[in-house]
Structure 1
Amino acid sequence: MNEILLGVDPREQSVPALVWAADESVRRGLALRLVVAVPPAHNGLRYDALARQSALTIRAESAVANAEDLVRELHPGLRIATERVNGVPATVLRDMAQHAALVVVGSRRLGRAAETFSESSVVVPLTARADCPVVVVRAPEHTAVHPSTLVVGVDGSESSRAAVAFAVEEASLREARLRAVWVWPRSVLTRDDGEEGLAERRRLLAESVAGWAERYPDVAISEEILRGHPVEQLALTSQESLSLVVGRRGRGGYSGMRLGSTVHGLLHRAPCPVITVPLPQRERRTGDPAWTDRSRAGTADRPVSAAPLGTGRRPSPRGTVRRADAPGPSEGSAER
């Protein structure tokens, strides 16, 4: 949990995602690991497939090198590691997320079907299954708006409580206000659509954010209940926000079902970075602020050395790994 993971896209690297990840690494005092995945070649014995794989590998190495150069220009003292991995990008990043505080990716704005089922899709499969929060950056964040604000979607569920825990910490790091928003869909079928229903939701919203203002007195937290469709209202509310934080509550099935319809819609509609927070692991008690402090522990002593990482041993993700600081394979041999 001592690094932030950035997925580098060899086809078209998202500069906003790269900048967001580098800035967040500095804010949290964590190292930044740049990872580029090379998808496996189909019909690998054919000459044209091998040639295509070779071209993808060259492009991937160039992309991760360019990303590293840009990060070093932005933050010369930041600790950086780079890796090229052979494997399906979403699977590689998901496996490596087990050892990261955050995973950051850009978005190529694929259609919903392509994002869910395509082998080249990263955003939906990764967001649905990663063990740590995933940040999807489609465009630069709204840093020119003052005072700075973050939005967190709340619905009283365990997953939204995890989102609140993350959002309060992030707001503190960003010296921003936090808007806790509960969207109440309109329905002619429910009986609690009046004052009693409103009072109940106000109570649940207050319970969801209870205790966080005392732990983070530097964060001004507002509570809002809006009527309408959750995706539409949260997208509108976050128009000038630094980011939108939501919990992941989908269960089972394919990636879109695991993600939940609201998060799935926000990945397409939200005009700011979307941070999806999974449920804490069993040893992390839901609603306990202690689990969010895992990435603040290193903020007192920010790194000053730019020496690359990658020397420590860690479980390899699925696929083939070649670390940037390790010698490459000998000529004519297969990669390890």
Structure 2
Amino acid sequence: MRHGAGREPVIGGVDPERDWRVPVAWAVDEAALRGVPLGLAVAVPPARDTQHVDDTPRLLGQARERGDVLDRAAAWARERQPGTRVSTRLLTGAPAHAMAELSEEAGLVVLGSRHLTGPGALLGTSALVMPLAARARCPVAVVGHPGHTTQEPAYLVVGVDDSDSSRAALGWAFAEAALRGCALRVLAAWQPPVFATGRGHGERFQEERRLLAEVVAGWSEDHPEVPVSHEIVAGPPVEVLAEAAEHALGLVVGRRGRGGYTGMRLGSVARGALRRAHCPVIVVPTP
């Protein structure tokens, strides 16, 4: 699994049912920053299970329509970043499965469709986000909130705990901050045990701070050019991270934290961040 800014292409998923410009802009700008090609893709869902009706005309029409959208998106991306090579792929089959296979050869997958509450979370192409974030072989960036504004000086936020997934997210965040020339804010959410004494709270809090400082120091040695801050903030993890990343370039989280159950592919913090945060959210899998 490749989590750094290597030579693998950036893959952008084009949503034919909504405005694709924000995620395509993010994808082609990221490809230009990395000096790698951009592949734009859209999937044509499989035929419906019909016993007496030939579904071929509908599928052909849908393929033509989605191909046209894909071509327009590619032309727009080439105009935005003339020096970046842009290719297109019209995929067939279930969108989540097709994009997960495509992620095998990518350094990053970029999606839009941040409509993750209400009917849009279950119907239409926005249903691609959660399954792909859970299954992709590379980091998945989900962008597209039209009201998001960034703050200067620019910074990324990464959420950490003591999980392997969190460590992968931290490494990716440092590499991305170095690539973008921005600062990095490392956050751990603190939720004191219910039955611990006041003294116990303080001792455990100090231990958590020490461990966080040690982890960050190791990555800072590898990326001395990245301005970094780290802190532990009291509160629920999703709310802590979403508030801290309100005006960030992006929020980086691991696919699974230390909570949840073993079979869960996408942890509760990653799910919550995808629903709650207004900035781009990058979900990093465990190597």
TM-score normalized by the length of structure 2: 0.89
Matches within 5 A, 1:133-212: 133-139=139-145, 144-190=150-196, 194-212=201-219
**Aligned-residue identity in percent:** 45
1:221 is aligned to 228
Looking at secondary structure, tell me which structure has more helix per residue: 2
Is contact 2:18–2:113 with CA below 8 Å preserved after alignment?
no
1:242 is aligned to 249
Q: CA deviation at 1:10?
A: 1.6
1:241 alignment partner AA: A
2:31 alignment partner AA: S
Q: CA deviation at 1:55?
A: 2.2
2:265 is aligned to 258
Matched pairs, number: 276
2:281 is aligned to 274
1:225 alignment partner AA: I
After the TM superposition, list the runs of 4 or more consecutive aligned residues in structure 1 that deviate by more than 6 angstroms.
Answer: none
Q: What whole-Å deviation, never above 9, does each CA across 1:216-248 have from its counterpart, x for those lacking one? A: 121111011100100011000000100000111
2:83 alignment partner AA: G
For 1:145, what is the secondary structure of its paired residue? coil
Matches within 5 A, 1:24-63: 24-43=30-49, 46-47=52-53, 49-63=55-69
1:57 alignment partner AA: A
- Separation in structure 1 between the aligned mates of residue 52 and residue 59 of structure 2, nearest angstrom: 11
Is contact 2:150–2:248 with CA below 8 Å preserved after alignment?
no
1:291 is aligned to none
Residue 20 of structure 1, aligned match among 15, 18, 26: 26
TM-score normalized by the length of structure 1: 0.77
Classify 1:103/1:272 alpha carbon distance in 2 versus 1 (closer, same or farther; 3 Å). Answer: same
Unpaired runs of 5+ residues, structure 2, are: 1-6
- Separation in structure 2 between the aligned mates of residue 216 and residue 226 of structure 1, nearest angstrom: 24
Is contact 1:150–1:243 with CA below 8 Å preserved after alignment?
yes
Is contact 2:20–2:73 with CA below 8 Å preserved after alignment?
no
2:239 alignment partner AA: E
Q: Is the counterpart of residue 125 in structure 1 residue 131 in structure 2?
A: yes
Unpaired runs of 5+ residues, structure 1, are: 281-336
1:292 is aligned to none
1:53 alignment partner AA: L
- Separation in structure 1 between the aligned mates of residue 243 and residue 253 of structure 2, nearest angstrom: 15
Q: CA RMSD in A?
A: 2.2
